[in-house]
Amino acid sequence: MSRGRGAVDPKRVSSELFSLTYGCMVAQLLKDFENPEEVNKQLESMGYNIGVRLIDDFLAHTPSVTRCTTLEEVADILCKQGFKMFLGIVPEIKNWTAAKDEFSLVITENPLAEYVELPPNCQDTLWYSNIICGVIRGALEMVQMDVKCSFVGDTLRGNDSTEIRIKFVKILEDSLPAGED
């Protein structure tokens, strides 16, 4: 049985299907929870569960990456390799604080929000792509780094740019198994 034209690598899915699926999911969450703040929390939580597993996928495919020691290294690898690998975009890194413990990630083209317009009732409260914040938090927690990650602007809400603020909290200590000192 031959595969004609239009044959696609079975592991690849069209990005439109992905955007549509994500959009359906957000719409359903809004219907179920009715409160956009609650939906933000749910998206972050879902993202966290994705992140804790996605990190292993990322590390397996980039064996040259070792544990980062500074937030700058993290920002660099996150944008140039992480985002590139999974979303096909490379966000810009901006607005470092003087203490280098906080930075902004600016996304110019968001594949999740390609065909989206927010309805007026959640225009000011919903962070549509909040799942990304959860993914970043979950993934970094698995490499022992505790960060706070949140949206500060979204073009869907009429802001100038889609911007995520990432703040370093602390390094998590490797936990010892029970019974050890």
Partner 1 sequence: MIFNLYIFNSSGDCLFYSEWKRKKHTDMSKDEENKLVYGMLHSLKSFVSRISPDTSDSFQSYQTNSYRLTVYETPSGVKFVMNAALELPLQATKDILQSLYKEVYVEYAVKNPMLSLQSPIDSDLFKDKLEAFINSKIN
The footprint of partner 1 (CB under 8 A) covers 53, 55-57, 59-61, 63, 65-67, 142-144, 174-180
Least distance between partner 1 and beta carbon 43 (Å): 17
What is the C-alpha to C-alpha distance for residues 126 and 39, in angstroms, rounded to an integer?
Answer: 7
Q: Which amino acid is at 71?
A: L
Q: Which of 77, 139, 78, 88 is nearest to 110 (CA)?
A: 88
Least distance between partner 1 and beta carbon 176 (Å): 7
Question: For partner 1, which is the closer residue by CB, 4 or 179?
Answer: 179
Is residue 93 a contact partner of residue 72, using CB atoms and an 8 Å limit? no
Question: For partner 1, which is the closer residue by CB, 114 or 141?
Answer: 141
Question: For partner 1, which is the closer residue by CB, 3 or 11?
Answer: 11
Least distance between partner 1 and beta carbon 56 (Å): 5
Question: For partner 1, which is the closer residue by CB, 10 or 179?
Answer: 179
The tokens 């994705």 sit on which residue?
50
Least distance between partner 1 and beta carbon 45 (Å): 14
What is the C-alpha to C-alpha distance for residues 75 and 80, in angstroms, rounded to an integer?
Answer: 8
The CA-based angle 109-64-176, given to 5 degrees, is 105
Least distance between partner 1 and beta carbon 60 (Å): 4
Question: For partner 1, which is the closer residue by CB, 4 or 177?
Answer: 177
The size of the chain, in residues, is 181
Task: Phi first, then psi: give them for residue 73, nearest 5 degrees.
Answer: -60, -45
